[in-house]
Structure 1
Amino acid sequence: MTYVNPSGEFSRDQRYIATRITADGRDGYPVEPGRYRLVVSRACPWANRAIIVRRLLGLEDVLSMGVAGPTHDERSWTFDLDPGGRDPVLGIERLQEAFLARFPDYDKGITVPAIVDVPTGQVVTNDFAQLTIDLSVEWKKYHRPGAPELYPEHLRERIDRVNEVVFADVNNGVYRAGFAGTQSAYEKAYHRLFDRLDQLSELLSGQRYLAGDTITEADVRLFTTLVRFDAVYHGHFKCNRQKLTELPVLWAYARDLFQTPGFGDTIDFVHIKQHYYEVHRDINPTGIVPAGPELGNWLTEHGREALGGRPFGDGSPPPPPREAEVVPAGHGAAA
């Protein structure tokens, strides 16, 4: 399984299943408690967004979650963490089975996050960008009391604008550097990434969060890349101008979010490292997973409260994660 584009620049396949689960069910899939299952891997930054948003909004009772293991092969993510290697709700060994149940000739990527219709066992969507926004907007009836407004109407234009550049230069930018097949393609991606991180540092030096004084969808999207930066992207993807810990504003911002309920308690550094270093054998042929970096510094003081802001706006923090969804001991920042 190869990831590097030998001819130069990495281009992400963005052909996702655009079906949406909506309050009015216009695509044939209405929002219904208990009907759907969110399939994720804690290793994946795109899936990590959905884990965080589901948790912040308090959707655990209405949208169950299946967690695939950190590694996969050409066929897809597997449920090797579950007894017997099968998802206990869907009864399948591989996420691929849900995709083929709906599209027998499916020829695109089998990706997480994905939402599966439990009664039919068919995938509904894997459109990760739209998925989290729909959890905020279309599932609003089922949000917990005190759920934050992650995509408030008055900030949507600003959030969308930030998300666009963060995706192009940072979220996908680390992959464009890591999977580049020529020196020039790599250096182009490298400079684009760090130029954008410098701009984000400047923005965040004067405000606590990307869209202002409360956490929004934009912060979720940037966080899942930053939290993987030193553990994976700095070395594995050669994004090594500086570590995150050497970028004072972004490091403080990332720690602020990490220490916010619903963010750091979703992070499994063991799975993150296993995924990248074991799966991308064309970059890391030995499959050896680095022992570092040290992680206790994620829990140090960040000082971002001095900028003011109200993390959850008029809402409140989510309760602690449910026992079945707690990151295993030794896999988080206390490792």
Structure 2
Amino acid sequence: MSHPMLANASHDETAEQLFVRDLQTWLYTEVEPHERKIAEELDPGLGHNDRAEAVYEALHKEPAFIGWSGMRRATQELLWDSVWTCVDRQAEGLDALASEAPELGSLTLAEDFAVPDYLEDAHVHLMPGGYGLDAEGVRQGALMDRGGAVYMLGRNGGFLNDGRGKAVAAHLACCYPDLAPERILELGCGVGSSVVPLAQAYPEAETYAVDVGASVLRYAHARAAHLGAAVHFVQDDAESTRFEDESFDVVFTAAVMHETSPEAIGRILTESHRLLRKGGVAVHLEVPVRYERLDLWSQVIAGIERDYNNEPAWKDATSADYEALMNAAGFEAVKVGFQDAVLGPDMSASKFGDESKGVFLSWFVTSGRK
């Protein structure tokens, strides 16, 4: 399933995009095992205090690693370049389509919005322009949406790329079946792919979503409206929003923490508690790995994501003690574990437990009540 706002790729654009993804797959599946072997040979042993960082530093003296990591970054840049060509070709049409979207929900932009320092000059995931903080039209949102669809290759809900939002909805249904929210808020919504499933799961609720980029939010509003979801999009900072205390029954994030900063993680959890009414629930979803459980090579990969894919908080987000942070923020009955991905129409098949089933099959989730 797709939606009208998704940029359409021509035959040649599709071929180029899939070539880049195949090249990335080859680097990950055929070449990466050799890099892993080199890392294991450099391993100083379990007694080293900064074992993974020591190996990561030593790898930068290995020509094979330098070549592989350089190609890894280059393919990510090529992916965005191929998607940008596709989006730029039809930018005017996408702007027109956004203006023709059904009158559902709302869009509120801020004239004097203060951008968090960690996002001001950051091109997260190497996406040109990042979140398009002052970009015109919907082009930056279209770039983000099409790029995500190509990168995920259907593994996160196909062209809707809504698997994270479905996992949040499944977690609420699984762990808080008594909840009947009247107001829902997503912090850090991007193009709205995760908030739409919540709006659809709770159609009687008033649903809001915030993010930092004007272009991304314009696109998100049009995208949600074309999908029949009435979502109110607001340009705001997830660490300190404009909403009043105790304004919502559900506050959630979906893979946001690793794109912020170590300090922001705690502040977002505290903000989600402030915004909740008594008895409300916060759900914070992240990538399904815990740094301390990773093998040596996977910990090295965390360094690569941090330094070469513009993911500065990757290690911090996957190693944070969320139970302690949630308790410090004031939450009760905190849950920490893994929610199964929703792979079909039956959301009840998604279970919450202690073990991850792997990337795209599970999501790390922490939640709690106020």
Q: What is the TM-score when the length of structure 2 is the normalising length?
A: 0.28
Q: What is the TM-score when the length of structure 1 is the normalising length?
A: 0.30
Higher normalized contact order (CA 8 Å, seq sep 6+, divided by chain length): 1
Structure 1 or 2, whichever has the larger Rg, is 2
